[in-house]
Structure 1
C-alpha cells in the first residue's frame, strides 16, 4: 500500500470528503474538553495534506505524519502553495517516535483501520499516548462494524471520468470487521493520450467500540468518549457499533 501511483489521484478521489467537518469536530473537542493551551497538533496519516493545511489555517501549529513519501510530496507542495509552515515527517504510526508534550493528536479518515492487526494498534495507541502532554487529546475515527457489514463488504464501486476510471472490489476478510480493497485504475497519459493501468490492494480492519475503548484504557488514556457521524452526542460503548457508520473517539490522557 505504497500509494505510489494513487497519490496523484488522491485529491480528486477524495473531493467530497468532509474535511471541513473534521476541522469543526476538532474545534468542538477543544472547546468541549476545555483544552488549554491547544496549539501543537499532530496529524497522523495526513496523506496529501488537505486536512493538515486546513488545521494550520485554523490556527494550530501542525505537523503531518504519513508512511508514503509520494503522499508527503503532494502535501509539501500544497503547503508551499498556500504559504503554510508545516513539518512533514515520514513515519509508521505504530512506531511513532520523536514527539512529546503535544496538545492534540488527530487521525481521521479511518487511518487507524489501516493498521494490520491488534498488536500494531496497541503499539500505535501506546506511542500516541506517550506523545501527548497530560490532559492532551487524541481524536480519531474508524469504520463501525455496522458500516463494514452493511455498506462495504461484497460491494463494487466505480467511477468513470474523462481522464481516469477505476473499479473497486471490497471483499470480506478472514475476520469480522476486515475488508480487502482491490482497486484497478486506468489513467490517461497527458502526453500520448494512452490509458495506463495500475492496481492497488488496501487492507482495513476495524473492531468493536468496546474493544477500542479497552485498548485505549490499556494505552494510558483516562477519559474516552465515543461519538458517531460528527454528532456531538456521546454514545455508550456497547451500543455504539450500530449507531453510526463512522465512530469518533475522543481520548484524554
Structure 2
C-alpha cells in the first residue's frame, strides 16, 4: 500500500490536479519573459515536468520544449499526453543534457522536494548551466509559512473522474514536523479495490534563503515576486516566484 513518491500517483495525478491553473502560470511566466527581452519563443527546458501539464502550455506558446523529471512513472503519462515532446529522466541536482536553453522552468513547488540548501543549490547550478547567456530561469517555491500552513484544516479530500469511467477517491493529510523543519503529506488514494499511500516531504524556502543560492549558482540578477501581480512578497506570503537571469558567462 505504501509507495514511493510520484509512482502510483502518476496514473491519477491529472485527475486530482484537474483544477491547477497551468495556463495562467504559463501566461505569468511568458509575459515576464517577453517583458525581459525573450520576445521570440525558443528552446525551453521544463524541470520536474511531471505529467506534462505546464509543458503543454509552453508548447502551446510556441516553445520547443524538453521535459525532465525524476519519476519515470510520471514521464510515461507525459509522453502519452505530448507524444512529440522529448522527455528525459533525470535528477534535478545532477542532470546534464549537453545543450542550453533560452528558458528553464520548474513549477508547482517542485524544488521544495529538495530538503536541504545544498541540494537546492546544486539544482540551481544545474539550471544555470543549461541556460544560454541572457536566458531566464523561472520557478516557484513554498515559503516556510507555506509549508507550515499548507492547507486550511491540514487536509484535502475529494472524488475525481478518471478517463476510463472510474473515480479516484483521495484524502491527503498534512502535518508540519517542527524538529525536521519539513511539511509531510500523506497522500491516500483509492481506485476501485486498489489503495495506496505516498508520503511527500517539502522544506520551505524564503527569499532570504534563495538569494545566496542564486548568487552562488552564478545568476547575474533576479527578482522574487508574488503571483499574479509580480508584487514584492509580503512577510507572510505562502509562495513566491523567482525569475533569475543568466549573465554573459557560465
* TM-score normalized with structure 1 length: 0.87
Match of 1:191 in 2: none
**CA deviation vs aligned residue, 1:160-216 (integer Å, no higher than 9, x gap):** 45722122121112458620111221111xxxxxx2211100111112111111110
Measure, in 2, the Cα distance between the counterparts of 1:210 and 1:176: 19
Match of 2:242 in 1: 249
Aligned length: 238
Question: Kindly tell me: are residues 209 and 241 of structure 1, through their superposed partners in 2, closer, same or farther at Cα, counting changes over 3 Å?
Answer: farther
Measure, in 2, the Cα distance between the counterparts of 1:152 and 1:52: 26
Match of 1:136 in 2: 135
Measure, in 2, the Cα distance between the counterparts of 1:196 and 1:118: 37
8 Å CA contact retained: 1:143, 1:206:
yes
**CA deviation vs aligned residue, 1:41-96 (integer Å, no higher than 9, x gap):** 0000111112112211210000000111111111111113xxxx311000011112
1:170 aligns with 2:174: yes
8 Å CA contact retained: 1:148, 1:177:
no
CA RMSD of aligned residues (A): 1.9
Match of 2:218 in 1: 220
Deviation at 1:31, TM superposition (A): 1.5
Measure, in 2, the Cα distance between the counterparts of 1:164 and 1:35: 41
Match of 1:22 in 2: 25
User: Where in structure 2 are the equivalents of 1:4-23 lying within 5 Å?
Assistant: 4-23=7-26
Match of 2:81 in 1: 78
Deviates more, 1:197-206 or 1:149-158: 149-158
Could you list the runs of 5+ residues in structure 2 that have no partner in the other structure?
161-165
